[in-house]
Amino acid sequence: MTLQLPDFPWDSLEPFALQAKAHPGGLLDLSVGSPVDPTPSVAIKALEYAAQAPSYPLTAGSQELRSAMVSWWQTQRNTGDLSLDEVIPSIGSKEMVGLLPTLLGLGAGDVVVIPEIAYPTYAIGAMVAAATVVTENNPEHWPVESKLVWINSPSNPTGEVLGLDYLHKAVSRARSLGAVLASDECYAQLHWDVDWSPSLLDERVTQGDRTRLLALYSLSKQSNLAGYRAGLVAGGDQLIAELLLARKHMGLIVPSPIQAVMSATLGDADHVDTQRERYRHRRTVLATALRAAGFRIDHSEAGLYLWVTKGQDDWEAVSWFSERGILVAPGSFYGVAGSQHVRVALTATDEAVSEAAKRLQA
């Protein structure tokens, strides 16, 4: 039987991309959060050093990488002490987002809960496993049949940050259901209107008990390594062991040169600070121009996007932007609750962002 999946959402943007390309100044693509800035030198040097790799790498990650991941989670995400058995690398965070229901053995009759406005792959991963998708933000309303619950903070697309109170409630409810609670946190180092984006594994939330809890992170955004597919996973040791066994059987292995890059990159905070300031500047320029053009910015306190609205249909707004040579993503890509918003990405060069701002204010 052929798996019936929906069309890829971004394919439906093609007519608007053509319209934007017809602008005298050309297309400015702010629809996809794909980094455009240089990969940091620390990563390139590590890749060159590790290029000779004739042997199979470890699915669990090298000792060096696991130690680097443990140190990163402890210092950057306030997890408290982690063991090497509570971390594994992944082939980007999207591998885990798309395959987690399958790796957990979910199937027909099982429920996967996702946010009401959410990255589409959460639902696709559940569909691949033949599980049922329920969209619900309120932990009190998560169904008793729930086997996996996704939360996303900072959110893609809205940039909303979930606080410690919400995380406490989410953990309590998930445990009462016997569900795995998974938190996608890949934008956590890019915070603007908040001082901190707490992790699900923050020791103030877990009190040291990480049973059935999982947190994902990616080096794509903070370190411009999207092309390397470098993701980090942390959680309770029993859950990590389950995932590791399944990934061994399926051959889901991060290549050893990429593992070396991750080890080196995780130990260097300077390039992260530099990249954050690049995005901060672009965000300020775009936010100022969008407000001047009559848009309201909702949430967007962290992450790589501005979640904006004029109270109109999202596709009308997409058309408005494309007439000015700018391509953005309609909010309905992320659920019906987003149908009056568009997502504007910060992932463009300073020159492109400056030009976009001029067109918005013209």
pLDDT of 152 above 80 = yes
- Mean pLDDT confidence for 272-294: 97
C-beta of residue 346 within 8 angstroms of C-beta of residue 132:
no
d(CA 193, CA 226): 25
Cα gap 62→75, rounded to integer Å: 20
Q: pLDDT (tens digit, 9 = 90+) per residue, 186-229?
A: 999 999 998 889 999 999 999 999 999 999 999 999 999 999 99
Domain annotation covers residue 285: yes
State whether 71 and 29 are in the same domain: no
Residue 19 lies in a domain: yes
Q: Return the DSSP state at 120.
A: T
Binned at pLDDT 50, 70 and 90, residue 2 comes out as: low
Residue 253 is predicted with a pLDDT of 97
pLDDT, mean of residues 315-334: 97
What CATH number should be reported for the domain holding residue 293? 3.90.1150.10
C-alpha–C-alpha distance, residues 276 and 191, integer Å: 8
If asked whether residues 33 and 51 sit together in one domain, one would say no
Closest CA to 240 of 97, 111, 84: 84
DSSP-derived secondary structure letter, 202: -
**Closest CA relative to residue 271, chosen from 199, 222, 313:** 222
**Contacts of 27 by beta carbon, 8 Å cutoff, 6+ apart:** 17, 20, 21, 325, 327
In a domain, 289, yes or no: yes
Domain that holds residue 219: 41-268
Say whether both 192 and 150 belong to one domain.
yes
| Residues 186, 202: Cα–Cα separation, whole Å | 15
Res 36: pLDDT: 96
Which stretch, 6-10, 193-197, 298-302, has highest mean pLDDT?
Answer: 298-302
What is the spatial distance between Cα 308 and Cα 287, in angstroms, rounded to a whole number?
9
Mean pLDDT within 235-252: 97
First to last CA, the chain: 53
* Residue 142 covered by a domain: yes
Measured between alpha carbons, how far is 94 from 61 in angstroms, rounded to an integer? 18
What gap in Å lies between CA 315 and CA 292, rounded to an integer? 21
- Identify the pLDDT of residue 6: 79
Residue 91 lies in a domain: yes
- Angle, nearest 10°, between helix axes 92-103 and 237-250? 100
Contact of 189 with 272, CB cutoff 8 Å: yes
What are the beta bridge partners of residue 151? 183
Q: Of the residues 224, 252, 268, which one is the last residue of a structural domain?
A: 268
- Give dist(CA 129, CA 229) in Å, integer: 23
Is the pLDDT at 26 greater than 90, yes or no? yes
At 207 the three-state DSSP class reads: coil
Buried b (16+ CB within 10 A) or exposed e, 14-24: eebeebbeeee
Give one DSSP letter per residue of 200-259, joined into a string.
TT-HHHHTT--TTEEEEEEHHHHHS-GGG--EEEEE-HHHHHHHHHHHHHHT----HHHH
Q: For residue 301, which phi and psi values (nearest 5 degrees)?
A: -75, -10
Q: What is the mean pLDDT of the chain?
A: 96
The answer on 157 and 97 residing in a single domain is yes
One domain for residues 203 and 62 = yes
CATH of the domain at 98: 3.40.640.10
Residue 153, Cβ density class (10 Å: 0-12 exposed, 13-18 middle, ≥19 buried): buried
Among the candidates 268, 287, 307, a domain finishes at: 268
Last residue of a domain, one of 268, 285, 317: 268
In a domain, 3, yes or no: no
* Statement to judge: residues 279 and 199 lie in one domain: no
As a whole number, mean pLDDT of residues 261-288 equals 97
With bands split at pLDDT 50, 70 and 90, how would you rate the model's confidence at 1? low
Asked if residue 221 and residue 89 are part of one domain, the reply reads: yes
Number of domains composing the chain: 2
Residue 169 shares a structural domain with residue 237: yes
Task: Clarify whether residues 13 and 133 are in a common domain.
Answer: no
Report if residue 2 sits inside a domain.
no
Percentage of residues in the chain with pLDDT exceeding 70? 99
186 contacts 218 by C-beta, under 8 angstroms: yes
Phi and psi (nearest 5°) for 314? -65, -35
Using left for φ > 0, alpha for ψ between -120 and 50, and beta otherwise, residue 78 falls in: left
Is the same domain home to 171 and 58?
yes
| Residues 235 and 289 reside in one and the same domain | no
Residue 71 has pLDDT above 70, yes or no: yes
In a domain, 4, yes or no: no
Whole-angstrom Cα Rg for the chain: 20
- The DSSP output letter for 7 is P
Count helices and strands (H / E) in the chain.
Answer: 13, 13
Residues 155 and 302 in one domain: no
Residue 150 has pLDDT above 90, yes or no: yes
Integer angstrom CA distances of residue 290 from 181, 285, 286, 287, 293 = 36, 9, 6, 5, 5
Please name the amino acid found at residue 15.
P
What pLDDT shows up at residue 7? 79
Mean pLDDT for the stretch of residues 337-355: 97
